[in-house]
Homo-oligomer: A and B are copies of this chain.
Amino acid sequence: MGEQVIPEQLLADCHLLGRFQASTVLLHRNAAVPWFILVPQTPLCDFLDLPDAVREEVVCQCVSISAFIKQELGFDKVNFAGLGNVVPAMHLHIIGRRPQDACWPQPVWGNLPEGASYSAEKLRDWQTRLARRTGLQPASPADHE
Number of interface residues of A (CB under 8 A): 31
Chain A binding surface SS class: mixed
| Beta-carbon contact of A55 and B48 below 8 Å | no
Contact with B along A57-71 (1 / 0, CB 8 A): 001001100110000
Q: Quote the shortest CB–CB distance from A71 to chain B (angstroms).
A: 11
* Residues of chain B within 8 A of A100, CB atoms compared: none
Q: Quote the shortest CB–CB distance from A107 to chain B (angstroms).
A: 5
**8 Å CB interface, A66-118 against B:** 66-67, 77-86, 94, 97, 104-107, 109-111
* Residues of chain B within 8 A of A86, CB atoms compared: 105
* Residues of chain B within 8 A of A81, CB atoms compared: 79-83, 107
Task: From the candidates B49, B110, B111, name the one contacting A66 in the complex (CB within 8 A).
Answer: B49
* Residues of chain B within 8 A of A78, CB atoms compared: 46, 48-49
* Residues of chain B within 8 A of A48, CB atoms compared: 59, 62-63, 66-67, 78, 80, 94
* Residues of chain B within 8 A of A66, CB atoms compared: 46, 48-49
| Beta-carbon contact of B106 and A85 below 8 Å | yes
* Residues of chain B within 8 A of A83, CB atoms compared: 79-81, 107
